[in-house]
Structure 1
Amino acid sequence: MTPPADLAAALATLLGDAQLRLQALPDSDLSLWLIDPANMARAFSPAETQRLLEAPPYWCFCWASGLALAQWIAANPDSVAERQVLDFGSGSGVAGLAAARAGAARVVCCDLDPLALKACRANAQANAMQIETLDDLHASTERFDLILAADVLYDRANLPLLDLLQARAKTTLLADSRIRDLAHPRFTRIAMLQVCTLPDLAEPDEFRRVALYQG
């Protein structure tokens, strides 16, 4: 299968020799367009590093928290079956695609990055699924049965997002590799999962332990 031209071009702008490869996810029947692991084996030039810092291509990685959430959904399909689901801060769309595979009635992937939304659509097509996309939750008044969110608390300034998400859905499932003891009265930790970002970034073991909360 040929990588989506617009995504391949965007990645090449950041890293000239980088390529997208359709990669199967562990313990899953999903595949995603991710940066080829071979492209992560070399040192980046100062110019490449600067470009990566200015416009990180989050969409071409399957981050540990997103993969953990997807694997939990696959093991607990009743949590999403027949529900209207929003994947907030979707990145590659892995959590939303897992929900679609598990029988969600409708999946909307939401991300501020236009490239991420293109990646979500390309990954949905690669897995023969139908999803919708949304670029700004604030611009919509729609409510959902369930909101999925992975790694949205990388900055503690984002904690108010939890109240926004809870106001827009009956239930929220939150996966995070950095906050394992979330002090929020309406969220309860329901699982701890050990997962690795793909391609493997050789992250410290602490970032491979993902906490899953329900609110």
Structure 2
Amino acid sequence: MGIFDTIRSVLGTSAETDATREADPEDLFGMSTAYVTMEADLGYDHANEAALCFSDVDSTRFDDAVSTVEEILEAGELETGTGFHRHADEHGYHWFVLEDDDPEDLVTSVHFAADQFIEAGFGSRLLAAVFGFVDADGPAYWVYSFRRGAYYPFAPRGTNDRDQRTEFSLQSVLDGELAVESDESYWYPLWPDAPGRHPWE
């Protein structure tokens, strides 16, 4: 199974079939308090970035929905200073990348974007929301899988290794504060293309 097929299996159709609870955009607001816990209790700095990953579809209605999301984010940029750009990765997935030094603004922007897709009838195209952190040992991410309706931790080290000890530590501290995925087989690694880069770059 190639990386593309693995993404489809874990964040796509298979994950949706196996889901134990429905995704709820309100889950994203749990990250507001998780940011505080990560920083105050665990010594992480937030990465000043978060991202929403979605799959494309050849549809005028979908294009209109994406345009509406961009308009919402542009308005947010004027109001809160939250920058954004759209990125297409080599696997054919699309990302709205948000940039802000205020984590509350990042959470709100990701929620608004996700909620717009759902209201437009394209919630099934949402794959993941990814929130970045960093400490002395390297980066760590909380990934919200829309197909599983749950978060999971991901701590990459380079482009093909992960720090599972850190991931289990994050799970033990944040489980309950976040709806954490209990099946570790769904903790899919979103590898960055190069060391020191984010999965959405």
TM-score (normalised: structure 1):
0.30
Which has the higher relative contact order, 1 or 2, with Cα contacts under 8 A spaced 6 or more apart?
A: 2
Higher Rg of the two aligned structures: 1
Q: Which has the higher helix share?
A: 2
TM-score (normalised: structure 2):
0.31
